[in-house]
Amino acid sequence: MDGTKPAMESNAEETQDEGQESKGCFECCIKCLGGVPYASLVATILCFSGVALFCGCGHVALTSTLTMLENHFSTVTSDHATLTLVIQIFQYIIYGIASFFFVYAIILLAEGFYTTSAIKKELQSDFKTTVCGRCITAFFMFLTYILALIFLAIFGFTAIPVFIFFNMWNTCAALKSPDSNLTSPGSVCVDVRQYGIIPWNATPGIACGSTLGEICNTSEFYLSYHLYIVALAGAGATVIALIHYLMILAANWAYLKSAVTTHEYQDIKTKDDQDLEAEARSKEGQNSSSYS
């Protein structure tokens, strides 16, 4: 019995150490998870998804649109030379948008981590934010507001090709539908010149009847239409992500400003208490010296 008692005590100590270690790991995980800015993380994922959809689908849709125009609506290269140049410029802009927002979203996520930890330390009186930190948050808030307005304009601009292809899609559906009762299918036409995409002297510039039916069955038309819809959805998701970022930055800035005000009040109160204590001690010293 005496030999089993030390063994039981050692097993109890090992079990207790394992329990303390697991508890320490659990508390560490909870502390790490508590420092994650979940709102910024959600906004970053939404921003990455929106920008990826807009840039990827928009780039491919522009290429397919140019191929469709070259093959069916503007067979003369000089007629759509300006359009080709504009599409190339838009594609380069898409490259820039993708690169910029990839970096900017990571910066805003890092700023969210910094601000979250700063606010917690501020509340624990272990850390005081600086004017520079608050100015950085205000700068990102202003820049995000400008970017939200810009991407809102991009969202509206992306709706233009969706509208054009939607009209073409409805015309193709009417041409194929047996319920439309068309007496002369050759009179059903799509004239892309009226949208200002190509000049009025472009050859042929218009497609009717069976030619239009062939265009409707091409992969370029089907792919471009659906990719423009996805790109529009991506632009909308990016706008939502930027608005989300804007609300996060505004809330963080307000928290930091409130924390600074609270600390200033606490500092003044502490200083007044110290002055009162010093004054009380000096009076006690004077009274003790007068009695002696």
Nearby residues of 245 by Cβ (< 8 Å), 6 or more positions away:
40, 43, 47, 108, 144
Q: Is 201 helix (H, G, I), strand (E, B) or coil?
A: coil
Which among 211, 119, 195, 129 is positioned nearest to 163, based on CA atoms? 195
Which residues, 6 or more positions from 98, have their beta carbon under 8 angstroms from its beta carbon? 51, 52, 55
d(CA 226, CA 136): 40
Instruction: Using only the alpha carbons of the chain, give its radius of gyration.
Output: 34
User: What is the distance between the alpha carbons of residues 92 and 154, in angstroms, rounded to a whole number?
Assistant: 15
116-131 confidence digits (pLDDT tens): 766 665 555 545 556 6
Q: How would you write the pLDDT of the chain (292 residues) with one tens digit per residue? A: 455 555 555 555 555 555 555 556 666 666 666 667 788 889 999 999 999 999 999 999 999 999 998 888 888 888 888 889 999 999 999 999 999 999 999 999 888 887 776 666 555 554 555 667 678 888 999 999 999 999 999 999 999 999 999 999 988 888 877 666 666 777 788 888 888 888 888 888 888 888 888 888 888 899 999 999 999 999 999 999 999 999 988 888 777 776 666 655 566 666 666 666 666 666 666 656 555 5
Q: What gap in Å lies between CA 136 and CA 111, rounded to an integer?
A: 9
Cα separation, 275 vs 291, in Å, equals 24
Q: Which residue ranges make up each domain of the chain?
A: 39-158+219-258
Task: Indicate the length of the chain as a whole number.
Answer: 292
